[in-house]
Structure 1
Amino acid sequence: MINYQHRSRGFTLVELVIVIVLLALTGLFVFNYLGFGAQIFRDTTERDQLVSQSRFALNRLTSELRNAVPRSVRVSVADSQRCIEFMPILASSQYVRIPRPGPPSVSNVPFTAIAPTTLDGLVGGYLLVYATTTQHIYGNATQRRKEVTGVTPPVDNLVDISYSPNTFFVTDSPVRRYYIGGMPISWCYDETSRGLYRFEGYGRLNNQPSFADLQLSTATSAELMAENIYNDLNNSEFPFKVFEATLYRNSLIQFDWRFRRDAAQEPLEILHEVYIPNVP
């Protein structure tokens, strides 16, 4: 009779320790590999978001500035150039006749103009004729700026514009151009929250309102347009600069925005220029 003996075999303690160590090293490698990939994805997503929001704010402000009344753009050096203000164009065309200083046949004529593209929303706007400085546009004097009180329906593509105060215009435009501007708009950089805000509804003011003034105004609506801006105003990193128009150059507005992600020291500096035609 044949007797078979079966021997039970297992793993030694050394073999178990080796296997555990190898599994730990493999798991650590796989975890680090997956974590590295997730970090790359996270960084790429955050960079895309930073670029997208900066592009949105840049395109929006550029579009609004290109529709601004010439010579209406201003920044305040006293407020570290953190805010830019301008008056948007509601309508623009050419006039046929305007009241001017002189005899009644000249000073008592109505303001007759070629009808603009739209007549909606013009009442309450500012009628401007050859306003060549910010004081003409925002100041207390009304020789070149009036407030629109009514517009007649077009007849043969001509309209009469009534305004207040009902006085003559002190000068003509060389190209007989007029603008109707809306309520001013401001874009401001908040160094505390690192945000870029858009303000409107505060009305026309002789002196440009500061960022603090706009924050305290109850009639002002504020919108956050961009985040993660790290301009150092104490180091002359001013977000807005305005170069006035000359006989040989249009008005030039320059943006200098320093974006950065919260989790990384990766600056994204945007330098952008916008030209506004010098045709008051």
Structure 2
Amino acid sequence: MRVQPSKGFTLVELIIVIVITGIVAVVGAVIIQGGVGGYVDQERRASLVADADRAMRRMSREIRLALPNSIRVNQCAGNPCVEFLATVAGGRYREGPGPAPVGGDPNRRLRFNQPDNQFNSTGPIGLADGSYPYYLSVYNTGQSGNDAWAGQSMTQARGVTLADDVAVPGETRVTLANAHQFPLSSPRQRFYLVEDAVAFVCETGRINRYRYDRDQAFNANAGNTLVNRVESCEFQYDAGSSTRAGLLTLTLVIQEEGERVRLQHQIQVSNTP
């Protein structure tokens, strides 16, 4: 009986298999790497857009509540910034005589010919009765002599107390911590309660939000970061007029590992005091 010799791979065949396997592995790795890289890039871009959009929306919500004519675009310590006075509530003050039997009581009117510290609000204010550490502003035009930032069209001291006027149902007695003479009356008898000054500052790769008293520097208190990875930002403001809304334009560029996202957002601001 004749035994057939066993057959195996020759060295040439083995080398060919190794080469082909290597080529397939390289091609597969390139394909997989491209897909994974594209997914990672897409996720990075989505993260950048989400962060920028979140910051824009936060700034937009707050800026829309700014005291009329209080927005100003500045350089804060050499960095682009937008500052404004943030309102928390408002109402309409009593200017004329009240209903019987208390009609004409001067304590229920807001007087402009002398410092005054008490008046009635003729409608809802949006706050419960109590004492609040707020300023009060009437008809701020932002012009010299009638500027809230200078404490002219806004009280210079904090402190507002609200209480129902039992003699006049539906009205609220507003008492100020210190008497103040407002330069101008409001054609629509509007007043605003102001909490603090706020600044959004573009600095060192991020946008920070600062909250401070109106006569302090913007960085008197620590800032809170709204968004990181900021490459550049720009604030442009058209104040408009008493009959046309102001327009604040925010432009933000954020980047990470070569990916850049540029967003622009416009905010209409009512400057009718």
Q: Same fold (TM over 0.5)?
A: yes
Aligned to 2:257: 263
Q: Which runs of 5+ in 2 are unaligned?
A: 95-108
How far, CA to CA, are the matches of 1:121 and 1:271 in structure 2?
A: 41
8 Å contact 1:196–1:229 — kept in the other structure?
yes
Deviation at 1:79, TM superposition (A): 4.8
1:117 to 126, 132, 140: 126
Q: Is contact 2:138–2:186 with CA below 8 Å preserved after alignment?
A: yes
CA distance in 2, matches of 1:230, 1:129: 39
2:181 and 2:165 mapped to 1: Cα distance? 22
Cα deviation for residue 267 of structure 1 reads 3.0
CA contact (8 A) 2:82 2:235 kept: yes
8 A Cα contact 1:256 1:269, kept in partner: yes
2:103 alignment partner in structure 1: none
1:276 Cα offset (Å): 0.9
2:201 pairs with 1:188: yes
Query: Could you tell me how far apart the structure 2 residues matched to 1:272 and 1:76 are?
Result: 18
Q: Distance in 2 between matches of 1:33 and 1:121?
A: 67
Partner Cα separation in structure 2 for residue 186 and residue 109 of structure 1:
30
Report the alpha carbon displacement of residue 110 of structure 1 after superposing the two structures with TM.
3.0
Q: Which has the higher strand share?
A: 2
**C-alpha displacement of 1:87:** 1.6
Pick aligned residue for 1:98 from 86, 94, 110: 110
Q: CA RMSD in A?
A: 2.3
Q: Deviations over 1:151-183 (max 9, x none)?
A: 223541212212143133332101110001111
For residues 248 and 143 of structure 1, what CA distance do their matches in structure 2 show? Answer: 20
Q: Equivalences for 1:109-188 in 2 at 5 Å?
A: 110-114=118-122, 115-119=124-128, 123-133=132-142, 136-139=147-150, 141-142=151-152, 144-146=154-156, 147-155=158-166, 156-188=169-201
The answer to whether the Cα contact below 8 Å between 1:186 and 1:198 also exists between their aligned partners in 2 is yes
1:68 aligns with one of 63, 66, 69? 66
Could you state the TM-score of these two structures normalised by the residue count of structure 2? 0.84
Can you give the 5+ residue segments of structure 1 that lack an aligned partner in the other structure?
232-237
Counterpart of 1:234 in structure 2 is: none
Question: Which residue pairs with 1:222 in the alignment?
Answer: 223
**What is the SS of the residue equivalent to 1:170?**
coil
CA contact (8 A) 1:99 1:167 kept: no
Structure 1 segments, 4+ long, off by >6 Å, are none
TM-score (norm 1): 0.82
Contact 2:112–2:183 (CA<8 Å) still a contact in 1? yes
Aligned counterparts of 1:78 and 1:42: Cα–Cα separation in 2: 36
* Greater shift in the superposed pair: 143-152 or 160-169: 143-152
Identical aligned residues as a percent: 23
What is the rounded CA distance, in whole Å, between the counterparts of 1:239 and 1:263 in structure 2? 22
